[in-house]
Amino acid sequence: MQPAQLTQVAARLAAQRRKPSDLDELRKALERCTTAHQAADLDAFADADVDFHLAIAAASHNPVLLDLYRGMSEAVRDTVRRDHCMERAVLGSDTTHQDLYEAIEAGDAAGAATIALAILNEQERDL
C-alpha cells in the first residue's frame, strides 16, 4: 500500500470508528501544535503533528495501520520539520489538520479521506 492510500484508509476508518476518547487525543495533539507554533518550537510542533497522525491511525482501530504509522513516524517528523508546516500554520494558510479533525469528528469518511490526501499533496508540492 502506498503512503497516500495508507493515509486515506486511516482517515476513512477513523471517521467511521472513532470513539470520544479518540477525538480527545486528536484535539490534544492539535492544541499542542498550536502551543508549539506560538512558542516557535519546531521540534514540539513536529512531535505534536506526528502524534496527531498517530492518533488518527489509533482511531481507525486497525492495529496493522497503527503499526505502519508508528514505523513511519520518524520520516513524518522529518518531513514536518523540512516542509515548513509550522510556518504555514502560523500564517493561518493551512487549516487542513483542523479540517481533517472536523471530518473525523463528524463521521465524514469520504471527506476525511479527501482531506488526508490534500495534506499529502501539499507536502509533495513543497518537496
What pLDDT, in 10s, does the model give residues 67-102? 999 998 898 888 777 766 666 555 456 688 899 999
CATH number at residue 33: 1.20.120.530
Arithmetic mean of pLDDT, 15-20: 98
The C-alpha atoms of residue 33 and residue 89 are separated, in whole angstroms, by 9
Contacts with 85 (C-beta within 8 Å, 6 or more apart), sequence order? 45, 46, 49, 79, 94, 123
- In degrees, to the nearest 5, what angle opens at C-alpha 71 toward C-alphas 65 and 76? 100
State residue 37's pLDDT score: 85
Side-chain half-sphere CA neighbours of 47 within 13 A: 7
The pTM of the whole model exceeds 0.85? yes
Q: Which domain holds residue 107?
A: 3-126
Residue type, 74: E
**How many structural domains are present in the chain?**
1
